[in-house]
Structure 1
Amino acid sequence: MRHIEALALIDGYDHRETGASITAHDFYRRLGCIDARSTGTAFGFNSILRRDLP
């Protein structure tokens, strides 16, 4: 994730967002992401998490 964030910074992005199922939600929260919004999919509930880049 740190490598991906470094590449995003080089490309001029100031944050990243990722979709996470209920099973991955806590993983992304431990990486410093916050809940941005939620969506419903054909497979169930999906969280969109955001992390501002330094």
Structure 2
Amino acid sequence: MLNYRKIEPADDKALAELIRANLEYCHLDIAGTVYFDPELDHMSGFLQCYLRKSIL
């Protein structure tokens, strides 16, 4: 059984590493992609803001 929870700031580093590793695997670690976006390292804040707006 899977347990779901909200993404927390402590998850940011692992999430960014996972996304970047997959971009590297697909040879998409190139300029103009999210690979170089500094906001990728702060996904929990983005997702919390996004979810608040989508619920309203």
TM-score (structure 2 length as normaliser): 0.25
User: Which protein is richer in helix relative to its size?
Assistant: 2
Select the structure that is richer in strand: 1
**So what's the TM-score if we normalise by structure 1?**
0.26
Point out the structure with max Rg over C-alpha.
Answer: 2
